[in-house]
Structure 1
Amino acid sequence: MENPDLGPDPSLLLVDDDEAFVRRLAKAMEKRGFSVETAQSVAEGQTIAMARPPAYAVVDLRLEDGNGLDVVETLRARRPESRIVVLTGYGAIATAVAAVKIGATDYMAKPADATDVTNALLATQDELPPPPENPMSADRVRWEHIQRVYELCDRNVSETARRLNMHRRTLQRILAKRSPR
């Protein structure tokens, strides 16, 4: 499907170590007219950015082998006009500022859907992207954060509870429930 908003070069680099997420996003972005290439590490992302710098990029902030901002810097050096969105499961103001300072076009918290990513990639400088159609509920955001910390602690309930400053039994009850909408 051709998308006239993409311009003459629809190349898109997706850098994320969450294999299922990057596969889903790649498929959705291809349907929107992008020519997608994926990477699952900083090293792989930098290699692609050096060899074939894309017009667009979506880069996860925290990757197993380092910081996604290194990929952003490499891409900025090779193709200064590229539009880059940084994704992260940790929405912190300090990292958002750092990402924008080194050249990211936008900064989004995970999980982001393909429509939000496309809007961020194609937004002009003076135009703010529209608010999300169906933002996550506060309960869902809390649940996503707990799940992310739980995974980072290698599914260790005691360690997760300690890091979240939460009683272990309370955490076990939350983990046993289904995810909120």
Structure 2
Amino acid sequence: MSDILIVDDDAALAGVLARAFSRRGWACRQAHDATTALALAQQRAPRQALVDLKLGEDSGLRLVPALLALAPDCRIVMLTGYASIATAIEAIKLGAVHYLAKPATVDEIISAFDRLQGDSEAEVGAQPLSMDRLEWEHIQKVLAEQGGNISATARVLNMHRRTLQRKLGKRPSPNPPVRQG
């Protein structure tokens, strides 16, 4: 039997995921913040951990190396509704084995834990990213560099904090619509 530590500040989502993993025979523990996750990992090292990128005011990115310090063999998958290239790269550099955007099925998550290598056959997009998406990616990169601090990020981007918060609240489409003509 496999065991999993689910770390998500959304208690309802964590509960749904835990029930779905339990139905598949997994032993599940839940944490809704980094402190609880680390306490659970100290009690019993998890084999797998599913970590949300945004844990309230904290970042799941900071939790990845801390979990690995307690459980070096733990396979961590980062799950997020705020996917960006910058945070995906950071998650992998910090030790996550995979990075998934919400919504993801339990089968996709289990598959991500099992992946040992990259996929050289991964599809390359036919179109470049939209300007909105490029802006989003740049904001996410700077936000990661500033340790998730929105005020510091706004200063670096020379942007009003409220404007930055508004932009972070909107998620751009990955590509512009294709025009026929």
For residues 65-144 of structure 1, the aligned pairs below 5 Å read 65-125=57-117
1:62 aligns with 2:54: yes
Residue type of the alignment partner of 1:122: D
Distance 1:126 1:93, change over 3 A: closer
Residue 168 of structure 1 is matched in structure 2 by none
Counterparts of 1:47 and 1:95, CA distance in 2: 25
Distance of 2:95 and 2:34 partners within structure 1: 17
State whether structure 2 residue 163 is matched by structure 1 residue 163: no
Structure 2 residue matching 1:120: 3-state secondary structure: helix
Query: Deviations for 1:35-58, whole angstroms, at most 9, x for unmatched residues?
Result: 100000111111112221100000
- Looking at structure 1, the residues matched to 47 and 35 of structure 2 have their Cα atoms a distance apart, in angstroms, of 19
Task: Please state how far the C-alpha of 1:82 moved relative to its aligned partner.
Answer: 1.3
Q: What TM-score, normalized by structure 1, do the two folds share?
A: 0.64
Equivalent residue in structure 1 for 2:43, among 43, 48, 51? 51
Q: Aligned partners of 1:109, 1:126: CA distance in 2, in Å?
A: 17
Mean Cα deviation higher: 66-75 or 11-20 = 66-75
Which residue of the partner structure matches residue 141 of structure 2?
Answer: none
Q: Distance in 2 between matches of 1:102 and 1:49?
A: 17
TM-score (norm 2): 0.64
Distance of aligned partners of 1:127 and 1:94 in 2 relative to their CA distance in 1, 3 Å threshold? closer
Taking only the aligned residue pairs, the percentage that are identical comes to: 39
Ranges in structure 1 where 5+ consecutive residues have no aligned partner: 1-8, 132-158, 166-181
Separation in 2, partners of 1:164, 1:65: 17
Deviations 1:79-136 (A, max 9, x none): 22211100111111111111001100000111211111111112233568x99xxxxx
Q: Is the 8 A contact 1:86 1:107 kept in 2?
A: yes
